[in-house]
Amino acid sequence: MDFELSEDQIHLRDAARRLAQQEFRDKAGRWDKEEKFPEENKHRLAELGYLGLSMEREYGGSEAGLVSTYLVIEELAKVDLLTAMIVHDQNVSPRIIANHAPDELRRRVLPGVVKGEIECSIAWTEPEAGSDGTAIRTTAIRDGDFYIVNGQKVFTTFGDRAHMHLVYARFGPSRGAKGIGTILVERDSPGLTVRKIEGKMGVRGAAENELFFDNVRVPAGNVVTMGDPENSRGFVGPLTIYNGTRVGMGVMALGVAEGAFDLAREYMTVREQFGQKLCDMQGLRWMMADALIEIEAARCLCYKALALIDAGKPDPALCSMAKVFATEMAQRVTLQCQQMFGGYGYFGLLPLERMVRDVRMLTLTGGTTQTQKNVIAGHIFSQKSAGGRRP
């Protein structure tokens, strides 16, 4: 068992740390306050090749693997979850396209994704299909060389700016997972309306959106995975990608917790009350010790799960455990770190107020804590895992 990072990984992580601390940290509050997407950060990430870290070389990526990719994302999340999400999102729909789309579509879309010229949202959730993702009603029905898409999506992150939406739809009359497939719908397609959802709690520089499809004609060449009413292949194929993205949510949460922890530790060494520094008060020292135990435990879970994916041995239940533990941990730890700042932590002048709001989304999106626990429980009681897990 090897817990050491390679030299290349250490260089990559340290470079991302410098970038995050020197160029992104001080502006993070501005994107939140102005509810503005950090365009300049995205350009910088593209310029440095961070948008193609896990992508195959033939599309311009560097095939660095998920462990290396998320080492970078963790560093970004320490200062700004929004900027971390820009890199993370390159590992969702683009990876589904890379693994499952026909050749022509891959070559048309992926080089632009790596350069930062094409953004692609995930449009899966619907008003009546949240945790139950197989309850979707959106349809994609063949009409000659086109598919006609009808339906409604909700919570589509970056849907207001994405050039393409990876839409989950039913390709014929079917129920459950059977018949569901995925199709790329381009931004300016006639019949597509996008509406931003207002009043978001955190990560305010990223917008979630409702998408309305009214007889939208999409070229047949844009089908990523074909839905077949006889089987669930068009749905199950893309699901494998979510092993990595679930852990990715955990890594982003880990990064936010670490960022909050660093700020609290620094403040505790200067703030004095009762003639004593906060860092000398036993009760607070133990709170920080507890926080560090949780951070390290989350790190072990997340990177073990990612290393197994990189090794071609994904463990879906472990991915769910990593997501649940790291995202729930980060909520507790950021709140505890905010507590160290007393009343000052409650105000937006300090990053803690933003971090507490930001990290909240990670227990919800990408499969809620409860649905992840259903996956874990399913694993516990499945025939395959009878006899328990082995280290």
Ligand X SMILES: Cc1cc2nc3c(=O)[nH]c(=O)nc-3n(C[C@H](O)[C@H](O)[C@H](O)COP(=O)(O)OP(=O)(O)OC[C@H]3O[C@@H](n4cnc5c(N)ncnc54)[C@H](O)[C@@H]3O)c2cc1C
- Based on the shown chain and the rule CB under 6 A, indicate whether residue 363 belongs to the binding site for ligand X: no
HEC string of the chain? CCCCCCHHHHHHHHHHHHHHHHHHHHHHHHHHHHCCCCHHHHHHHHHCCHHHCCCCHHHCCCCCHHHHHHHHHHHHHHHCHHHHHHHHHHHCHHHHHHHHCCHHHHHHHHHHHHHCCCCEEEECCECCECCCHHHCCCEEEEECCEEEEEEEEEEEECCCCCCEEEEEEECCCCCCCCCEEEEEEECCCCCEEEEECCCCCCCCCCCEEEEEEEEEEEEHHHEEECCECCECHHHHHHHCHHHHHHHHHHHHHHHHHHHHHHHHHHHHCCCEECCEEHHHCHHHHHHHHHHHHHHHHHHHHHHHHHHHHHCCCCCHHHHHHHHHHHHHHHHHHHHHHHHHCHHHHHCCCCHHHHHHHHHHHHHCCCCCHHHHHHHHHHHHCCCCCCCCCCC
Looking at the Cβ atoms of 124 and 147, the one nearer to ligand X is 124
Binding residue for ligand X, selected from 231, 370, 382, 385, defined by CB under 6 A:
370
Per-residue binding string, ligand X, 320-359, x by CB under 6 A, is: ----------------------------------------
The size of the interface with ligand X (CB under 6 A), counted in residues, is 18
* Contact window for ligand X (CB under 6 A) among 120-128, 189-197, 253-261, 381-389: 120-128
Using CB under 6 A, which of 161, 292, 371, 376 touches ligand X? Answer: 371
Min CB(161)–ligand X separation in Å: 12
Q: For ligand X, which is the closer residue by CB, 54 or 121?
A: 121
The residue at minimum Cβ distance from ligand X is 130
Binder among 66, 113, 166, 361 for ligand X (CB under 6 A):
361
Q: Which residue's CB is nearer to ligand X, number 64 or number 359?
A: 359
Closest distance of CB 360 from ligand X, Å: 9
Is 191 among the residues that bind ligand X (CB under 6 A)? Answer: no
Q: Nearer to ligand X by C-beta: 240 or 365?
A: 365
208 binds ligand X (CB under 6 A): yes
Instruction: Give the footprint of ligand X on residues 145-164 (CB under 6 A).
Output: 155-157
Q: Is 122 in the site for ligand X (CB under 6 A)?
A: yes
* Binding site residues, ligand X, CB under 6 A: 121-125, 130-131, 155-157, 208, 361, 364-365, 368, 370-371, 374
